[in-house]
Amino acid sequence: MIYHKSIMFKKVTFMFFIFLAGFIGAYLIYGKIFPSKVEEISKKINLDLPFGNSKDEVIGFLPYWLISKADKDYTKYLTTLAYFSLSLSEDGTVQKFTNPGETGQHCL
């Protein structure tokens, strides 16, 4: 039984390397025949990735039930602060009471 598993593992490993070699070979051949296309696709992939040319982003999460406990200023560490379940007034300020009798979790 162990002998059979060893042979199967060798076959699977061999097939994987054959597939990998074929893939790399096709890429190299295609790159020599159509170098401008490969370069164009590579640039497009790099530009489409969100982390391609941008700086690091650190996102903080602040739910409404922890706002009163948020006593430290972490703005020098964060690039974005995401609030959870806050209501804004028309001028963009945070509304302190939208429904004074409700604690917030009943809306969920």
pTM of this structure: 0.32
Question: Which of 42-51, 69-78, 83-92 has the weakest average pLDDT?
Answer: 42-51
* Res 104 pLDDT > 70: no
Please provide the size of the chain in residues. 108
Q: pLDDT higher for 30 or 100? A: 30
* Res 59 pLDDT > 80: yes
3-state helix vs strand vs coil in the chain, percent to 5: 50, 10, 40
